Structure 1
Amino acid sequence: MSEKMSIREAAQLLSVSDQAVHKRIRSGSLSAEKLNGRWFVDAASVRVALERPPRRGRPLSGETYMLMNGPYEVMEFSYRESDGSFAPGKVRDALRAPLGTVTRNGRGRADGLRQWWDYRSIPESRSGMDEKLRRLGLDDPSQIPFRNLGLSLSDQYWVCPVSQEVNWEDVNYFRNPFGDSRQGWDEWLAEVGLSSPDNTSEGVLPKRWLCEGPLRILLKGHVPWTDQQVFNERVATLLHGRLLREGEYVSYEVVNLGKLGVASSCSCFVGEREEYVPFNLVAESEGKRPGETAYDNVVRLCRQLGIAEKETERFLSKMIVCDGIMANTDRHLRNFGLIRDIDNLSWRFAPLFDTGNSLWYDKDEGEVARGDYSYASRPFDARPNRQLMYASTLDWLDLSSLDGFPDEACEVLEEGNLSRWRLEYLREGIERRIAAVAELCG
């Protein structure tokens, strides 16, 4: 092929979903090839498709659903599986709609619905998804959540076919059992396509929800070349336990899943009348003012939601300091956020979670041997020590509580498959990051 473009770029040019582009590739109407597991579309074939005259006649309508937030009716919409398109209908409760799916004048947004649903779906890049889609007879991961009404354990949203009578109390996963227990399974994607919250678990790493009595437990795996991410979650838990209060962080344990290896385990941090709202949805719904820093943008948007500026600054300071010690590279705007009560619509900060991509887990042996401790921080400044300067409220920080932490961290890390020299490298790295925080405190 000559000039190529990604599936997403082709979808945007053609004003269709990613799923529709995949269907056109299979039908032969678009030329494409797969490179390193990803499809790339021939730009010339996209231009030809754009020049074709539109089909005459009324388009076929899809199945009609009511988007629900727990027991509340939010918005009617139709979904057409043939091309993955969403068509919003009457909005019944704009305040309880997912952020970004309703305009300021109260109309549903087709692009907002599609983007929100795509985030709700398992990414195609997760290991094993191509084969899972083939076995399910589906074309795109975004079709899977319709098999369990879009139910999730991250929020209370779901979709109810208007032709059916379904009660929230009878189907939600917070109250009703699902799937298998920790025993008796040997495949991460085993429950995908069935009645399981696994259908709406975003992210590339393998994940699996378990129902153990009243507990809802999330297991998460790691990249193929190292299991350090799993142990990093436990190290972060120990750090958070030294610096933060209970409820300000998610607690992780390490569990052994037999031939699947080790995984991190944590309890669901969302209550049955709450929803987790990643901060990117807040930011995209309001936008950033000219000249406004990413930090100031977060503070302003939280203030608009009714969260006091001092409370926001304290939360962000705790996040920045803890991530600074852990050398976290992955605190993007979907990896921290807010929790909203679906009844009174009040907001609070979600506990800190997901710190696995930290402690230089992706450094190769050459970088370790050279003592390379460089990394890019997020979300306010890629330079770690510059980002630390955004931690403006430090009256909560007791540096003496970090005494012995490097040794404690390495005791956890040595349970993984790490060499002795890598452990020494990590010990020194943690000491350096603590020193950087101490310097910040003067």
Structure 2
Amino acid sequence: MEQYILMNKNTPLATVTLSDAGYLTDVLAIHTPEAFPIGIFTEQKAQLLDRLNQWWRSRIIPASRDGLRYVLHLYDVDSPAVLSKRSLGLSLSDQYWLQPVGSELNWNAVNFFTNDFSRELGEAFFQKESSRPAINPFTPDASSNGWLKKKWVRIDGATYLAKAGSAPLLQQPYNEVAADKLLTALEAPHVHYELIMENNKPLCLCKNFITADTEFVPAYFIKNIVPRSNNDSAYTHLLRCAEQLSIPGVDIFLQQMLCLDYLIENSDRHYGNFGFIRNVNTLKFLGPAPIFDNGTSLWCESLNTEIGQFLPALPFKETQKKQLALVKRHCLNEARLNVCQQLVEGVLQASSYLDKERVQRISEAVGSRVRGLQHYLASL
């Protein structure tokens, strides 16, 4: 077993051991419990180890990632956790990393915010098979989650995440751009997406909204900060947890997000793709992260004849219609709702993978959702 110090920038959190397979096997010492990832620390050692491994797994490439088997073969490893260990667990979403015990490595020397990183792992997911004998594993791509192919890139000194769509329609990148345009019109804080073509296939680009001094904390690690009362719904419980952590602006943010998800029928708004931003120096929360990761929407996995239907929803209720009922205030520029159908249609028309009937059905379904949202908001 190899020994590492789990670090938050240059603050030591705990001394741990990792197996050859890349998972935590023991917690040998606790150093700075207050700087641990949110929702992880407990004085019960077995529970702490379990929580740390759960947190660690949320940072590695999932088994569902398209192309993973080839990449593991290319790097000659059995598990994506090994890739993350080789890159010291470094990420562009936070400042946690693994310092080998006895080494003199420090945050300034290794972090990906101010230092360059290898692009080879990310590119391997997008390229055809290669026989390259040696590939640099030191990359934030080893700590990226999600099932769609993605890679970190640098453009004019800024860092962007590039994400692909799923075959055969490759619709998700267009959905991200469409959601961006809707949120811009509706004046809700969000991440900006742009579309690029690479090898004749669409990718969406978004600039990293995390800096060297902030971390993204998924809602998943917020929602268990306090025990859930029998009287609380999943929604009100999350609000209670956010209040406990003094996170500002959560209520209006969640309501804006729910309105968007209703409009675009987002079927994948799980607790991992929305969350909050914390200052890692002061350990104080700044507020919600801007709305991002809206690609699994607009009926991208539905047949043309199924477009417009209510699909199973996340994270609070079973359908987007039921989630809309959680909205209790006016939180958007409602005067701009009427442009939403046109904006979606304009984006999707640019795709050579979507037939005219599909684009029309999706656009009309968004128009129907606009009318439903307008009717609901008028009743408040």
State the TM-score, normalized to the length of structure 2.
Answer: 0.91
Deviation at 1:86, TM superposition (A): 1.9
Deviation at 1:287, TM superposition (A): 4.0
Is the 2:123–2:151 Cα contact (8 Å) retained in structure 1? no
Deviation at 1:82, TM superposition (A): 5.4
Is 1:272 aligned to 2:223, yes or no?
A: no
Q: Given the alignment, which residue of 262, 271, 288 partners 1:349?
A: 288
Q: Given the alignment, which residue of 268, 277, 280 partners 1:339?
A: 277
2:312 corresponds to? 376
2:268 corresponds to? 330
Please show how residues 5-404 of structure 1 align to structure 2 within 5 Å: 62-81=1-20, 84-103=23-42, 109-180=48-119, 187-188=125-126, 194-245=137-188, 248-259=189-200, 261-308=201-248, 311-347=249-285, 348-368=287-307, 372-394=308-330, 396-404=331-339
Is the 1:75–1:108 Cα contact (8 Å) retained in structure 2? no
* Partner-residue secondary structure (3-state), 2:148: coil
Is the 1:179–1:211 Cα contact (8 Å) retained in structure 2? no
Deviation at 1:398, TM superposition (A): 2.7
Change (3 A) 1:121 1:88: same
Change (3 A) 1:78 1:104: closer
Change (3 A) 1:285 1:397: closer
C-alpha separation between the residues in 2 aligned to 1:340 and 1:185?
30
Is the 2:195–2:203 Cα contact (8 Å) retained in structure 1? yes
1:33 corresponds to? none
Q: Deviations over 1:156-204 (max 9, x none)?
A: 00000012110111110100112359xx967437998621110101111
Deviation at 1:284, TM superposition (A): 3.5
Is the 1:327–1:360 Cα contact (8 Å) retained in structure 2? yes
Deviation at 1:365, TM superposition (A): 3.4
- Which structure 1 residue ranges, 5 or more long, are not aligned? 1-61
C-alpha separation between the residues in 1 aligned to 2:185 and 2:137?
40
C-alpha separation between the residues in 1 aligned to 2:22 and 2:339?
57
Change (3 A) 1:321 1:332: same
Deviation at 1:207, TM superposition (A): 0.5
Aligned residues: 370
Q: Deviations over 1:1-24 (max 9, x none)?
A: xxxxxxxxxxxxxxxxxxxxxxxx
For residue 441 of structure 1, what is the amino acid of its counterpart?
L
Is the 1:406–1:431 Cα contact (8 Å) retained in structure 2? yes
C-alpha separation between the residues in 2 aligned to 1:156 and 1:126?
24
Deviation at 1:292, TM superposition (A): 1.6
Specify the structure having the higher radius of gyration (Cα).
Answer: 1
Is the 1:179–1:210 Cα contact (8 Å) retained in structure 2? no
